[in-house]
Structure 1
Amino acid sequence: MRIDRFLLVVILSSISLSSLAKDTDGVFAIKGVGVQQCKSFIVAASKDEPVLQQYAGYVSGYISAYNELESETFDLLAWQRLDTVMLLLLQGCKQTPESTVGGVISRVVKYFSSNAIKKNTEKVEVKGPSSSLYFYPEVISQIQEALKQQGYNIDDLWQAMEKYQQDKKLIGKSPFDQLILMKLLYGKK
């Protein structure tokens, strides 16, 4: 899956680095592979090196720590998969190869924070013609609101997403695939 470059530019440019400051001097300690320059990650990704598992572990740990430490956050990435976040990290690193991996993932995570799930709730089924998916009620509300803002009838959410997918000419096995949801929920920010 390829993340649209425009979408990534919007994500990364919407976050100022100063908003990530943690001490009075505006810095914080980065650990593990997060200290690596992006160009190292780019090389590892291009060669599909085993060290990519360390980067994925770093990203998963970063997200888990965010979920634990950020007030009013249960799940930062309620529907996004790790591979999607890794692709965003790769694209961000390609834009700023001298940055650290930790710096780029901080910006990506900060961008997603506005849609974080605040409270653990039971997931709700969204039925399709031959399968079902489960989302937190907050995610369903975010999807419905984004569709309504673009003029879609949300009486049948699956059909509304299929129509959105067709109208935007987006490729995916399901109208709820990662790229389609990224376009819908983050394409205008």
Structure 2
Amino acid sequence: MLNPPPYLVKMKKYVVTLVVILFSFCAVAADEEGAFNTKGAAKRSCSEFASTYSEQGSKTYLYGGWLEGYITAFNALQQKTFDITPWQTTELMLLMLNKHCTDNPDQKFLDATNIMLQAFLPTRLATRSDIIEMSINDSTIYIYQSVLDMTTDALKARGFDVDMAESEFNASYVKAITQYQQIKGIAVTGFPDQQTLVNLLLVPIK
């Protein structure tokens, strides 16, 4: 059995809230009658996926591979969309889908996926964005400039002081992210990591 990354285990309490938010959307059919052929994981039910996910075996990655291919097609066919998931990792999306599918076992895995992607539309990249390198000590991540801008706006909306000269990653940004992580009680990395992005970009300000 494969163990999930530690950060995913810590994120589970946030996923419960997110699923309520994300899956309040309705699935959109491909045509007026909703008739189209499906391949691979699209033929599976939510209960089948949830069962496979709970085992955390190699079959889980088959769903991940299908999901990545489906998202690639979505990006190619959806208008005004360069990337529907500009920061969401496959692991995070599978975690979200598992929670939803556990609660809705009779739903099709394809429908659950479509609902999730529709919920991601507000934070999609409509056009191509530069990818920038962010380094702190010996750690480095790569992130779209547009996502960095989104997080900056989200931090400012929550009252954090961020001085982003020319939208560059700098000490002011790291300080704001670190303070936000400390307040939220999540892992303090100084980076806009998955757990931080979930809270900043998907969870509404209360």
TM over 0.5: yes
Number of equivalences? 186
Q: How does 1:45-56 map to 2 (within 5 A)?
A: 45-56=53-64
Q: How does 1:34-113 map to 2 (within 5 A)?
A: 34-113=42-121
CA distance change for structure 1 residues 130 and 50 in 2, over 3 Å: closer, same or farther?
Answer: closer
The root-mean-square deviation of aligned C-alpha atoms, in Å, is 1.9
User: 1:7–1:186: 8 Å Cα contact kept in structure 2?
Assistant: yes
1:180 corresponding residue in structure 2:
196
Q: Name structure 1 gaps, 5 residues minimum.
A: none
2:20 corresponding residue in structure 1:
9
Cα distance between partner residues in 2 of 1:71 and 1:172: 37
Instruction: Spell out, residue by residue over 1:130-178, the C-alpha distance to the aligned partner (whole angstroms, 9 max, x if none).
Output: 5443322211111011111110111211111111000111135454221
81-90 vs 163-172, which deviates more? 163-172
Q: What amino acid is aligned across from residue 22 of structure 1 in structure 2? A: A
In percent, how many aligned pairs have the same letter? 27
User: 1:11–1:111: 8 Å Cα contact kept in structure 2?
Assistant: yes
Instruction: Spell out, residue by residue over 1:45-96, the C-alpha distance to the aligned partner (whole angstroms, 9 max, x if none).
Output: 1122332222111111111111111122111111111111111111111121
CA distance change for structure 1 residues 95 and 172 in 2, over 3 Å: closer, same or farther?
Answer: farther
CA distance change for structure 1 residues 153 and 27 in 2, over 3 Å: closer, same or farther?
Answer: farther
Report the TM-score, using the length of structure 2 for normalisation.
0.82
Report the TM-score, using the length of structure 1 for normalisation.
0.89
Q: Deviation at 1:25?
A: 2.2
User: 1:172–1:180: 8 Å Cα contact kept in structure 2?
Assistant: no
Cα distance between partner residues in 2 of 1:176 and 1:136: 11
Q: Name structure 2 gaps, 5 residues minimum.
A: 1-7, 164-171
